[in-house]
Amino acid sequence: MSKEKNSPSRSGAFEAGVDKRVETFTESISFDQRLFVQDIAGSIAHSEMLAQQGILADDEFQQIKTTLTEIKQEIVDGEFKYDFALEDIHMHIEKALIDRLGDIGRKLHTGRSRNDQVSTDFRLWVRDAIDRVSAKLLDLQKAFVSRCDQDVDTILPAYTHMQRAQPVLAPHYWLAYCEKLERDRERLTDARKRVNSSTLGTAAVAGTTIDIDRSKTAELLGFERIVANSLDASSDRDFVLESAFCLTTIALHLSTWAEEWIIWSTVEFNFLDLPQEFCTGSSIMPQKINPDILELIRGKTARVVGNLQALIVLTKSLPLAYNRDLQEDKPQLFDSFDTVIACLELAAPLVEQTKLNRDEIASRLDRGFLDATTLMEYMIKRGVPQRSAHHAVGALVRTAMNERKSLAELPLETFQQTQPGIDESVFESLGVENAVKSFQSFGSTAPEQVALQIAAWKARVSD
């Protein structure tokens, strides 16, 4: 096997070149090239700080800044050449700088290591990616809120254990997802605080003897704080794990929504019609309109969950400080961000364009005794102990089932035989419309409560 000459990352201590197989095995340029924007921004900030400290001359800084900007544009235009022998995006950019500026380019890496450079670049990338995901989550919230007015009078059966439980207004359902997505955004916002800490200038592991100003580079790059311990800075990937967890939670919420709408789109449920632009057909069955996009959103959740598990295992038992294992943190997190963003981009238009089959839903609302709990609470308000009322309503449900009737179709005498003292007012609590109107508690599906929540969410998503 042929040997290759030393790469720029290998010092003069090496006598042998790098085996070609090692180059292929250790390269990360195939995936970390997407960090080029952050790497160049970090290098410009670092060189500006070096000039401020008198380590670089002002004209040297200007040459570095101008050349790095030119390199960035070449990458954007697709004119930049990559070479596996240079391992990663950081060495590619540094070599291009040195090729053009010579010794001035060789000064750029003063007071930093690839360890803190990589960590800084990755933090900058994750910070931007968090902002993109948060914006997509807001778009999905807006899509759910936009449905509320048109669906305000539609009653849906809510399920527990996949059995019909109680009636709810459709906007109450849509806003339930707004609440979940809001917690997702809050988690991202909180995680972003820990991402937004500068490690630049902590160097390889112990810091540097060069008189640098880490606060200056943090300020230039928009970091809120600087990491206080160089050992911690070199090894820390908490921000990667936390971001991956946030993305996993988002994916799980999307998967739950996708699963429900897949079920709701079946002939058996027929609650909704999905926009055909987001469905596919069958290669053999001409009648099929398949919810493939929802199925893929549900399926891609497995990738996001798997990436989190891989990252946890990757960082398990690593000794302080930097270890090459950490090169493998980027493919998983890149993939999780890409996957979640792709799912969110399709989720919002799906929500906006899906049509509820209101007549079909309404025609079967009398099934499943959705008003049974309301009847029980009617009895409680008339002085019947909860457990006694629960037992009495259970008996009435059994009677209605045997007679193939709804509770509202039972005669008053049947109610009175089960629970003496009941009068005609019982029928004001029966039927899904009456049941919905009977709710009172904050956060319930009571029309007044739902109206307040719709107004509140309209204000929140418009900020």
pLDDT of residue 159: 96
CATH topology for the 17-110 domain: Fumarase C; Chain B, domain 1 (1.10.275)
Q: Which of 85, 98, 107, 92 is nearest to 34 (CA)?
A: 92
Q: Is the distance from CB of 421 to CB of 382 less than 8 angstroms?
A: yes
pLDDT of residue 8: 55
pLDDT of residue 238: 97
CA distances from 115 to 27, 53, 232, 233, 310 (A): 16, 22, 11, 9, 21
- The CATH code that applies to domain 115-361 is 1.20.200.10
Residue 251 is given by DSSP the state: H
CA distances from 334 to 31, 96, 133, 339 (A): 9, 25, 12, 9
pLDDT of residue 1: 33
Amino acid at 450: V
Q: For the chain, which residues make up each domain, given as ranges?
A: 17-110, 115-361, 372-462
Q: Which of 37, 65, 202 is nearest to 57 (CA)?
A: 65
Q: Cα(186)–Cα(246) distance, rounded to whole angstroms? A: 10
Q: Is the distance from CB of 255 to CB of 297 less than 8 angstroms?
A: yes
Q: How far is CA 112 from the centre of its chain?
A: 33
Please classify residue 393 by burial: count the beta carbons closer than 10 Å to its beta carbon, then call 0-12 exposed, 13-18 middle and 19+ buried: buried
Task: Tell me how crowded residue 268 is: count the other CB atoms within 10 A of its CB.
Answer: 8
- The CATH code that applies to domain 372-462 is 1.10.40.30
pLDDT in tens, the chain (463 residues): 333 344 556 666 777 777 889 888 989 999 999 999 999 999 999 999 999 999 999 999 999 999 999 999 999 999 999 998 899 999 999 999 999 999 999 999 999 999 999 999 999 999 999 999 999 999 999 999 999 999 999 999 999 999 999 999 999 999 999 999 999 999 999 999 999 999 999 999 999 999 999 999 999 999 999 999 999 999 999 999 999 999 999 999 999 999 999 999 999 999 999 999 999 998 999 899 999 999 999 999 999 999 999 999 999 999 999 999 999 999 999 999 999 999 999 999 999 999 999 999 999 999 999 999 999 999 999 999 999 999 999 999 999 999 999 999 999 999 999 989 899 999 999 999 999 999 999 999 999 999 999 999 999 999 7
pLDDT of residue 7: 54
- What are the catalytic residues? 161, 282
